[in-house]
């Protein structure tokens, strides 16, 4: 899996960065999930290797403009390109009205099946390979963070051992791979779990929405391999940040430390910060959580 940051700015775009959008690429085939879709996200798509036709799902954290104003343009351009693959949007209450009204009032439409699901805290999606849960954030409007978790992968089936013990190949091998019991024609009962190697632990990612400090953050990010958290303002501006439902560099780093995250990617920087300020923001984060990196537009991180 890879995370590609299409926008890393807060509130409004700047010359250095666009507003928020993060793409999660699920496999080498390029299937992509998008987390938030700020204004001009489709422009950012054209400047990187991501393909709109591979976009399967969009998860919206909240309805502030810097997180959703890119949706109408992306959806209609996807249609104009003749893409027929279905797309699902998940987001807080109101996302359905926003998208449908924007399309209707502009005389726009989609050529592909579009599903819009309004969410609450809890399980949002589970396809057996990945599951997504939503966690309530501490913002000035309803807002969620998303935890994306791979299911553990079962260990390899010890086929040579089965062969040595006289278990013939057959369709029951698929059941054995799932750790199930099968009864052979000679009456033997074979327990697949006895022939499986150790399972591979699935990876977990936490992608925060906009938030001031909240206890929910520690459960959302507990022991994740990669945590993405907003750092809208520097530590000295804590009161201003928290009063507007945002976090500082030090507050984001403390969440990563206390939650047991392995890595922190800081993003969602105020437009007051230019390139010359980024080393200072990074140093603040790393003073608490050394394994911190700063996102930048078009940066790609392996999970």
Active centre residues (catalytic):
66
Q: The tokens of 279 are what?
A: 């080393």
Provide the CB-side half-sphere exposure for 163 (13 A, CA).
5
Where b means 16+ CB within 10 Å and e means fewer, 160-182 reads: eebeeeebeeeebbeebbebeeb
Return all residues near 253 (Cβ < 8 A) that are at least 6 apart: 264, 266, 284, 285, 286, 287, 288, 289, 292
Sheet holding 122-126, edge to edge: 122-126, 130-136, 144-150, 204-207, 226-230, 264-267, 292-294
DSSP designation for 73: H
Transcribe 125-160 into DSSP letters. Answer: EE-SSEEEEEEE-BSSS--EEEEEEEPPBPPPB-HH
DSSP designation for 17: -
Task: Measure the CA–CA gap between 246 and 243, rounded to whole angstroms.
Answer: 7
Task: Measure the CA–CA gap between 44 and 41, rounded to whole angstroms.
Answer: 5
Return all residues near 96 (Cβ < 8 A) that are at least 6 apart: 116, 118
Task: Measure the CA–CA gap between 168 and 170, rounded to whole angstroms.
Answer: 6
As to burial, measured by CB atoms within 10 angstroms (0-12 exposed, 13-18 middle, 19+ buried), residue 241 is buried
DSSP designation for 82: T
């Amino acid at each position: 899996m890879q995370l590609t940051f299409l926008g890393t700015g807060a509130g409004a775009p700047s010359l250095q960065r666009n507003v928020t959008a993060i793409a999660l690429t699920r496999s080498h085939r390029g299937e992509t999930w998008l987390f938030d879709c700020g204004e001009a996200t489709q422009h950012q798509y054209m400047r990187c290797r991501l393909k709109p036709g591979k976009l399967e799902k969009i998860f919206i954290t909240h309805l502030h403009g810097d997180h959703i104003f890119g949706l109408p343009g992306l959806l209609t351009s996807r249609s104009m390109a003749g893409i027929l693959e279905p797309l699902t949007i998940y987001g807080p209450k109101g996302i359905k009205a926003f998208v449908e009204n924007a399309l209707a009032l502009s005389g726009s439409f989609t050529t592909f099946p579009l599903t819009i699901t309004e969410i609450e805290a809890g399980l949002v999606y589970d396809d057996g390979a990945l599951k997504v849960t939503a966690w309530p954030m501490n913002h000035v409007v309803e807002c969620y963070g998303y935890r994306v978790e791979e299911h553990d992968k079962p260990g390899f089936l010890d086929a040579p051992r089965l062969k040595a013990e006289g278990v013939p190949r057959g369709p029951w091998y698929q059941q054995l791979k799932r750790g199930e019991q099968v009864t052979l024609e000679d009456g033997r009962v074979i327990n697949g779990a006895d022939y499986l190697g150790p399972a591979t632990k699935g990876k977990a990612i936490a992608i925060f929405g906009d938030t001031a400090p909240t206890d929910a953050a520690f459960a959302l990010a507990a022991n994740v391999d990669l945590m993405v958290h907003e750092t809208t303002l520097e530590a000295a501006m804590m009161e201003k940040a928290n009063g507007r439902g945002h976090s500082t560099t030090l507050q984001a780093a403390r969440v990563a430390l206390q939650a047991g995250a392995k890595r922190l990617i800081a993003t969602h920087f105020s437009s007051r910060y230019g390139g010359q300020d980024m080393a200072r923001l990074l140093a603040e984060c790393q003073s608490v959580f050394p394994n911190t990196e700063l996102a930048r537009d078009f940066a790609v991180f392996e999970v």
